[in-house]
Amino acid sequence: MPSTYFTAPPQWHWLIILYFFVGGIAGGSYFLAVLFDLFGRITDRPLGRLGYLIAFPLVVLCGLLLTVDLGRPERFWHMLIQSGTWRPMLKAYSPMSVGAWGLLGFGFFSFLSFLGAIGDAERSRWPRLRVLRPPRMLGALVAIVGAFFALFISGYTGVLLAVTNRPIWSDTPLLGLTFLVSSASTSAALLTLLGWRRRWAATGLHALANFDRLVLVFEFIALIALIVSLGSIAQVWLNAWGALLVLGVMVAGILIPLALHSRARVLSGVAVPVAAVLILAGGFLLRVVIVLSSEAV
Amino acid sequence: MAEPMGFFTDTTVCIGCKACEVACKEWNQLPATNGGRNTLSGNSYDNTRRLDGIHWRHVKFIEQFTPDRAEGRWLLMSDVCKHCVRAGCLEVCPTGAIFRTEFDTVVIQSDVCNGCRDCIAGCPFGVIDMNPVSGTAQKCTLCYDRMRASLEPACAKACPTDSINFGTIRELRAMAEKRVGQLQAAGEKRAYLYGADEKMLGGLNSFFLLVDRPEVYGLPPDPQIPSRNLKPSSAWSLLAAVAVGFMGIVSFRNRGGRPHA
Amino acid sequence: MGTRLGRGAATFFYRNMEESDCVVVMGSNMAECHPVAFRWPMKARVNGAKLIHVDPRFTRTSAMCDLYAPIRAGSDIAFLGGLVNYVLNSQRWNTDSFFKEYVLNYTNAATIVNADFKDTEDLDGVFSGLVQYSEKIKEWPYNGFVGQYENKSWQYAGTEAESRGWTAATQRSGEQGVGDHDRGTGQKPTTSPGASPAPPQAVPHGPPFEPLVHSMLKPPPLQDRTLQNAGTVFQVVKRHFARYTPEMVEQTTGCPKETFLKVAETILANSGRDRTTSFAYAVAWTQHTNGPQVIGCCALLQLLLGNIGRPGGGIMALRGHASIQGSTDVPTLYHSIHGYMSHPTAQKKHDTLADWLSAETVARGYWANTPKFMVSYLKSMYGDAATVENDFGYAWHPKIIGDHSHLPMFVAMNDGRVKGMLCIGQNPATSLNASVERKGLRQLEWLVVKDNWLTETAAFWQTAPEVKSGQVKPADIKTEVFFFPSAQVAEYEGSFTNTFRMLQWHFKAADPPADCRSDLWFTHQLAKRLKKLYANSTAKRDEGFKNLTWDFDPDPAREGAGGRQAVTGEPESHKILREINGYYTGDPNRHLAAFADLKDDGSTTCASWIYCGVFPAPDKNLATNRTADPPGTRGAQLGWGYSWPANRRIMYNRASADPRGRPWSERKKWIWWDGRKWTGLDVPDFAATKPPTAAAKADGIGLDAQSGTDPFIMKTDGKAWLFVPTGLVDGPLPAHYEPMESPIKNPFYKQQSSPVLKYWKRDDNPVAALGDTRFPFVITTYRLTEHYLAGAMSRWNPWLTELQPEFFIELSPELAAEKGIRNLDWVKVSSPRAVVRGKALVTRRLRPFRINGQTVHQVGMPWHWGYQGLSTGDAGNELTALVGDPNVTIHEGKAFVCNVEKA
Ligand SMILES: Nc1nc2c(c(=O)[nH]1)N[C@H]1C(S)=C(S)[C@@H](COP(=O)(O)OP(=O)(O)OC[C@H]3O[C@@H](n4cnc5c(=O)[nH]c(N)nc54)[C@H](O)[C@@H]3O)O[C@H]1N2
Ligand SMILES: Nc1nc2c(c(=O)[nH]1)N[C@H]1C(S)=C(S)[C@@H](COP(=O)(O)OP(=O)(O)OC[C@H]3O[C@@H](n4cnc5c(=O)[nH]c(N)nc54)[C@H](O)[C@@H]3O)O[C@H]1N2
Ligand code: SF4
Ligand code: SF4
Ligand code: SF4
Ligand code: SF4
Ligand code: SF4
Ligand SMILES: [Mo]
């Protein structure tokens, strides 16, 4: 039997799964917002802003989820500061430690961008809010640094799982990759859903659709690679979990949406939102399967 | 740092009396499963089932009998934290609650741990689990408090047959080698040491004498530290980041329109 | 063991098992029940010794052994007899001079037995002298006899083996019955050696009692030192065991012949001049209708192998409760007074002190000193009131009228013959045939329970099954129950006597909580109140109580000594120890240093002669000794605690040297003659300066009657008895009998089970007849390391209950399959007495046996559970029967029949 079978499950359940999902979307939508900002058209702006506006509240939610999941929530800060010495607590080789700082950093930048976005959005109504809009260069800088944090947040959770001794998690190097890609697809899907049938979002949506198509293909390949990389261990998925992964995540969450996309023009208008919902559900299921199928061993 | 200390557990002289389990609970005042209203496991005489936050010692009972009883063994083994020289739990702990003591043992500080449970997944042996009372992860401390008072750990003291031997790693390894030789000479060719040398996680400061494959005792044949996955996993993620970024850029620009000034 | 070796206790100390070359654990699950003592066999094993376990189940002990021999419960004598036969016919035993030399000189092998003795060989399973029991004993109808032996024909040729009327254990046996109805028919009970002829008038009353003892000298028995005479014990033994062949062993015990032979070879190979084998047993040998015979058979084997009295050799009687040894030395036994002297009884000629002495004293061997022991004992009871004129108050001493042990007492209780009971440190409500025991409790007017927990006994009126089920209404129970919370050992000081007779003092660590009180306190206060109550009584029967000395009150100075004595009214434990150890009557501060100092004229006071010497001076309590031998050296640990007799650690250790006094071998040297005295690693269990060459004095009494080569000084002839002419009521030699309940027809003899076992015939105590198809399986009961006896001391403790949380039944997969039972299923186990429910633990550690070509399933059941405490479950003892052995009335809890069904 593989050595990972002799370890104990950490009992990471729904709160953590939810965090993985929400965190991914937070990071992803921030990242997309930045893309819109830096490479998009002027008309994409509102959609980008939407990304910033989503990211920050979701990060706050992430912090809450993680804290509540602790055995001793009142000690959440021990992740950042050594309770004994009051010195900062950081372990470069501990994904959870680095993750804690990453979340903090991302929280900070997403907050700035959040303010900026509000300023940008409402300047017509309350000119005063203009002050919130950072000078061009600074704004760009914040966005770029923030984007790196965003990518980190959407990917490190997979690395966190990998840096354990649990079956599946520690048996493949591809979890981080998969989670990151899935964050991109799910967040794109969310933005699409929110921007659906909105005039101001029209052009952006189009770009998102292209993006999503590429990412979904990438994600599909990633999942195949993931299963292959597990080798014999993949046997643990010869059960309901496996079925859920293939039918729920790969078919319903990727292939069907892809099909819908390609037919989007032909099919009735609902195709796009349906695809988006399926992608979101698929992204969530992916995390459910990865986390719980290992916990079950 | 004082000389590394630890355990040599000779499973061939363990009589399965569980005195070590009880001594540990008594010294560390650990609660009993469901207040003592436990259920029969049906798995030989093992009713505490596994190491966890309230069982820091656990005695395993492995019945090996051929259907005709021509061959028969009842393997008894008192399991405990291995106090790895390269400890997975310590590696991943984000709060620094887990530290290496002056005796080269691995201890969780209950007043620092915040119950994130990363160490549970990080331990290659499934040693750690939550203690429902403290709300923190717990495991054998190798009686750090007793050692500081230069007392022998409670479990070793209680062991009537010296299956649990406590001492400096140097002495223990010598003793263990001798015992293996003795058993080999006596015809027990299956006797070997598990975790006594650096090959396994830099050495287990609590190592064992076994007479069957590790799996039979519920021990991993090839335990690893979690950080082995850090680099590859991160690299692949980075790749993904670049790829996604690239896809983003291609699908957001060059759409014929000019980007805003 | 007493009857064969002289003292019924472990012959050596368990630390010494480290020196054994082979340890046979049989009749015990030593690793599980004596884990700390088991340390030493394990040390021996690490040093290369062979460990053997003979048990119906593969246990944690078996797991540690080189050899495991499975046998059906209740077949030990077949196995041991097989070993005896193997040894006697082995080439090695017949060629190695050591064995002959040991057996010839140190046992009664050469002694010639009465010509009219008939063996089980001749009478198909019974010995000569069997008398079917006829209800003769009127005053106490609870002895439970089914038959009895008249043992005249078992005697040595030409002379009656002198006997102490057999240590009073046998007072309950049929023998006295014989004596009685002889008396009934007017003739003097000379036929029964139990009461040897009353002292001729010529002999004056003592003190001194020496003339009386002299008058009892009988001619010494005839011998044939060539062992050729067909009448010699040796030849009798050889013939007796001839049919115990390996084939018969396999057919009876179910142990494969090859395994048995491996065991036999290993034991023989590890016995001799240079190697020793030891046996360890506990209650799996005693809890049978022929328990003492099983143990005797082991003694016989060990004697043939020369393994008694030598380092690493011997028989380790593993005792149970902490200090249970002490409670038989300073007895809570009903049939003995201190130091294994017979309790005065109405069933023998014990009318006067002289009568008692002539019945209980022997002229040869150490027991010739009995008058000194007895008189000193009476002085300890009645102090100054005990004078020469009034026979030292002998007349005041209570007498027993029959078997007052556990089983008969509860039968009497059921018949309403018992008014009240003080239950101190016992939990009978889940004891044998439990529902009958509880029925007995319901007949009491009052019951005092003094315990640390509200046991099943304390709550029998409230939570017992029959009460829960509504069959019995608490309102209808008239018994008034008083509960006294007890202190724990750490809350008072006193001494423990461990399994190898070693006294160790324990000190008080803390005060008992609330109004918990020690048993000392309780007994002391009760005695004082009773003495007050009887103070002005004029009734003759109360004189004993009035004259009883009871001065254990602490001196004002000591009261509250150490400042820890918050509890007032505790007696002074050192005063009690002093009374047990003994002192010069004139001056209580002059303690006796050794039992050699005892006098028969009242000038010495000593409650228990065997403990004399533990407290030689007011400031010298040897039980507190704590000096261990330096590590790595061979020794007897003489500086640790105090072992009776006289701090000897290996008894009969004269046998560790050859007849000429030289060690049998360098490796096994222990005690030897240095030309002037006996010296060595231990206290010699022999006259210190009696040379090996000393001859027995023809008209000498006591040790003078024994030669320098007679190691077994408690026996009249100074030799260990292979053949037991007197002292056992169920035969001079062990013979295999089936348990009272068995699915097997006795493969050895026509006689199915012991013809003289004890059985209390009652509607609520039925037994299954041979071949009763309703109960086809053999069942045995036992302990788990994780629990303690009736459970009060473990089932209340969560740290222990989580280890063994539920009552379970152990089954082999074969039986489980036959009955469609899966692991953890609930099963019903039924015996003719009751049905219990438990979970099935299906394991290959149990196995079906092939007996006479038929398959016999063995079921196992730990008996610890009950209806009180944290972990509750049915009590195994609901199933057991009121059946006992005739020598000591121990129940047959280890082998009976049952059925198992899916519940
Ligand atoms: N943990 C623990 N230790 C104890 C006790 C306890 O309750 N718990 N009780 C103490 C007391 S009071 C006593 S008396 C001792 C008893 O000590 P033991 O006599 O060793 O204990 P048991 O478990 O009664 O029986 C021992 C073994 O006898 C086997 N057996 C049953 N029938 C037979 C038979 O016919 N022949 C043979 N050869 N074996 C048989 C059983 O399978 C069992 O494994 O233990 C003492 N120590
Ligand atoms: N079927 C079957 N029946 C058996 C046996 C068997 O093997 N099989 N074994 C038999 C044997 S060997 C034995 S010894 C008996 C034991 O049977 P019991 O003696 O009836 O059972 P215990 O549980 O030992 O009861 C001792 C009680 O003393 C209490 N106690 C402890 N310390 C103290 C103290 O300091 N003072 C007082 N006053 N009380 C105290 C404990 O709480 C406990 O309730 O069972 C016998 N019954
Ligand atoms: S065994 Fe597990 S818990 Fe113990 S030190 Fe090693 S990794 Fe940590
Ligand atoms: S649970 Fe406690 S000890 Fe374990 S990793 Fe988290 S903080 Fe460290
Ligand atoms: S060393 Fe101490 S903490 Fe560790 S198992 Fe032994 S008793 Fe328990
Ligand atoms: S105390 Fe020693 S013998 Fe008993 S179970 Fe523990 S390790 Fe084994
Ligand atoms: S319970 Fe007490 S007597 Fe029994 S083995 Fe343990 S220490 Fe010895
Ligand atoms: Mo006992």
DSSP line for B219-249: --SS---GGGGHHHHHHHHHHHHHHHHHHHH
Signed CA dihedral, C374, C375, C379, C381: sign only: positive
Q: Which atom of ligand 4 is nearest to the CA of B93?
A: 5
Residues 6 or more apart from C556 whose CB is under 8 A from it?
A: none
Q: Is the pLDDT of residue B79 over 70?
A: yes
Residues 6+ apart with CB under 8 A from C124: C749, C750, C751
Report angle CA C564, C567, C568 to the nearest 5 degrees.
Answer: 115
Element (DSSP H or E) covering residue C324: helix C324-329
Which-ligand-closest: CA of C788? Answer: 1
> Can you give the pLDDT at residue C640?
97
pLDDT exceeds 70 at position B39: yes
What local confidence, expressed as pLDDT, does residue C186 receive? Answer: 32
Query: Radius of gyration (Cα) for chain A, nearest Å?
Result: 20
Give the pLDDT of residue A1.
81
pLDDT tens digits, residue range C739-794?
A: 999 999 999 999 999 999 999 999 999 999 998 999 999 999 999 999 999 999 99
**pLDDT tens-digit series, residues A1-20:** 889 999 999 999 999 999 99
pLDDT band at B122 (very low <50, low <70, confident <90, very high): very high
Q: Give tens-digit pLDDT for A68-91.
A: 999 999 999 999 999 989 999 999
Q: How close B187 gets to chain A, by Cα (Å)?
A: 28
Cβ-nearest to B123 among A151, A158, A165: A165
Average pLDDT over chain C reads 92
Region A42-58: mean pLDDT is 90
Chains touching chain C through at least 3 C-beta pairs below 8 angstroms are B
Per residue in C803-850, pLDDT (tens digit) is 999 999 999 999 999 999 999 999 999 999 999 999 999 999 999 999
**Residues of chain C with a CB closer than 8 angstroms to some CB in chain B:** 31-32, 35-36, 38-39, 42, 45-46, 48, 58, 60-64, 68, 70, 784-786, 797-806, 808, 823-824, 839, 841, 843-845, 847, 870-871
Q: Hey, what's the torsion of the CAs at C38, C42, C47, C53, to 10 degrees?
A: 90
| Predicted confidence band of residue C168 (pLDDT cuts 50, 70, 90) | very low
Pocket of ligand 5 (CB under 6 A): B 23-24, 27-28, 56-57, 80, 140-143, 153-155
Q: Is C429 helix (H, G, I), strand (E, B) or coil?
A: helix
- Residues, CB within 5 angstroms of ligand 8 (ion): C 320
Amino acid at C180: D
Q: Measuring CA to CA, which residue among A294, A296, A284, A292 is closest to residue A20? A: A284
| A–B CB contacts, 8 A cutoff, strictly below | 229
* The pLDDT value given to residue C575: 96
Measured CA to CA, the distance from residue C661 to residue B44 in angstroms comes to 53
Residues 6+ apart with CB under 8 A from A277: A189, A193
Distance between CA A219 and CA B222 in Å, rounded? 32
Task: Check whether the bond before C207 is cis (ω within 30° of 0).
Answer: yes
A45, A161, A163, A182, best to mutate vs chain B, most B CBs in 10 Å: A163
As given in the structure block, the two tokens for residue B19 are 């005195």
Please give the Cα distance from C100 to C62 (Å, whole number): 33
d(C-alpha C51, C-alpha C62), whole Å: 9
Q: pLDDT tens-digit profile of C303-340? A: 999 999 999 999 999 998 888 999 999 988 999 999 99
pLDDT value at C7 more than 80: yes
The ipTM of this complex is 0.93
pLDDT for position C160 = 75
Residue C97 backbone dihedrals phi, psi, to 5 degrees: -60, -25
Q: What is the C-alpha separation between A111 and A134, in angstroms, rounded?
A: 13
pLDDT at C714 over 50: yes
CA distance A71 to A66: 10
pLDDT tens, residue by residue, C118-136: 999 999 999 999 987 766 6
Summarize the confidence of residues A134-147 as an average pLDDT: 86
The strand pairing partners of C342, in sequence order, are C336
- Whether the pLDDT of residue C627 is over 80: the answer is yes
Pocket test for ligand 2, best of C421, C432, C452 (most atoms within 8 A of CB): C452
Looking from the CA of C412 toward its CB, the CA atoms found within 13 Å total: 19
> CA C428 to CA C430: how far, in whole Å?
5
pLDDT value of position C139: 60
Atom from ligand 2 closest to the CA of residue C783:
7
Q: How confident is the model at residue B16 (pLDDT cuts 50, 70, 90)?
A: very high
Is B92 within 8 Å of A94 when comparing Cβ atoms?
A: yes
Question: Is residue C146 within 8 Å of C767, Cβ to Cβ?
Answer: no
Q: Which of B219, B221, B237 sits opposite A159 (nearest CB)?
A: B237
Token pair in block for residue C489: 């050992």
What mean pLDDT is predicted for residues A195-215? 86
Q: Which amino acid is at A27?
A: G
Q: Residue holding tokens 């105090």?
A: C642
C317 lines ligand 1 (CB under 6 A): no
Please provide the DSSP assignment of C816-881 as one string: HHHHT--TT-EEEEE-SS-EEEEEEEE-TTS--EEETTEEE-EEEEE----SSSSS----GGGS--
Is the pLDDT at C198 greater than 50? The verdict is no
- For the purposes of burial, counting CB atoms within 10 Å of the CB of C750, is it exposed (0-12), middle (13-18) or buried (19 or more)? exposed
Taking the C-alpha atoms of residue C45 and residue C19, their distance in angstroms, rounded to an integer, is 10
List pLDDT tens digits, range A15-47: 999 999 999 999 999 999 999 888 888 888 888
What confidence score (pLDDT) does residue C174 get? 34
- Tell me the per-residue pLDDT of C95-105, one tens digit each, with 9 for 90 and over: 999 999 999 99
pLDDT of residue C185: 33
pLDDT confidence of C189, banded at 50, 70, 90? very low
DSSP, collapsed to helix, strand or coil, labels residue C90 as coil
| Residues 6 or more apart in contact with residue C116 via CB below 8 angstroms | C128, C153
* Ligand 3 center to B200 CA (angstroms): 12
Task: Give me the pLDDT at residue C194, please.
Answer: 38
What is the average pLDDT across C551-558?
A: 82
Question: What crossing angle do the helices spanning C291-304 and C97-106 adopt, rounded to 10°?
Answer: 130
Cβ of B15 within 8 Å of Cβ of C805? The answer is no
CA separation for the pair C442, C445 (Å, rounded): 8
What is the reported pLDDT for A270? 82
Instruction: Please give the average per-residue pLDDT across C387-411, as a whole number.
Output: 95
CA nearest to C592, candidates C291, C377, C824: C377
3-state secondary structure of C430: helix
For residue B98, pLDDT beyond 50: yes
pLDDT at C753: 97
Q: What is the mean pLDDT of residues C558-564?
A: 50
pLDDT of the residue at A194? 92
CB–CB of C508/C490 below 8 Å? yes
- Count of CA atoms in the C-beta half-sphere (13 A) of A84: 10
- For residues C342 and A290, what is the distance between their CA atoms, to the nearest angstrom? 79
**Residue identifier of the C-alpha nearest atom 38 of ligand 1:** C27
Could you give the 3-state DSSP secondary structure of residue C411?
helix
**Average pLDDT rounded to a whole number, residues C64-72:** 98
The residue-averaged pLDDT of C343-357 equals: 93
Check if B24 has its Cβ closer than 6 Å to any atom of ligand 6. no
Phi, psi of C483 (to 5 degrees): -115, 125
Whether the pLDDT of residue B214 is over 50: the answer is yes
Alpha-helical (H) ranges within chain A are 14-39, 45-69, 95-122, 136-162, 175-195, 202-230, 240-243, 256-263, 271-295
Q: Whose CA is nearest to atom 1 of ligand 7?
A: C34
| Cα B121 from Cα B117, distance rounded (Å) | 7
* Cβ atoms < 10 Å from Cβ of A133: 16
| Beta-bridge partners for C898 | C777
C603: left (phi over 0), alpha (psi -120 to 50) or beta: alpha
Q: Which residues contact C219 (CB under 8 A, 6 or more apart)?
A: C158, C159
d(CA C67, ligand 6 centre) in Å: 21
Rounded-to-integer distance, Cα C367 and Cα C718, Å: 11
Nearest protein CA to atom 2 of ligand 5, as residue: B143
A135: its two tokens: 């000078």
Among B18, B42, B65, beta carbon nearest to C785: B18
C494 CA: distance to closest CA in chain B (Å): 24
* Separation CA C363–CA C203 (nearest Å): 14
Mean pLDDT over all residues of chain B?
A: 95
Which helix (DSSP H) or strand (DSSP E) does residue C317 occupy? strand C314-317
Q: With bands split at pLDDT 50, 70 and 90, how would you rate the model's confidence at A250?
A: very high
Say which amino acid occupies C503: L
Q: Which protein residues are within 6 Å of ligand 2, measured from CB? A: C 283, 287, 320-321, 424-428, 431, 450-453, 455, 486, 488-489, 519, 781, 789-790, 792-793, 863, 876-877, 880, 893
How buried is C529 (Cβ within 10 angstroms: 0-12 exposed, 13-18 middle, 19+ buried)?
Answer: exposed
Question: CB pairs below 8 Å between B and C: how many?
Answer: 115
pLDDT for the residue C297: 98
Q: At residue A297, does pLDDT exceed 80?
A: yes
Q: pLDDT grade, residue B1 (50/70/90)?
A: low
pTM beyond 0.90: the answer is yes
Residues A267-292 have pLDDT tens digits of: 567 888 999 999 999 999 999 999 99
Which DSSP string do the residues of B184-198 spell out, in sequence order? HHTT-TT-EEES-ST
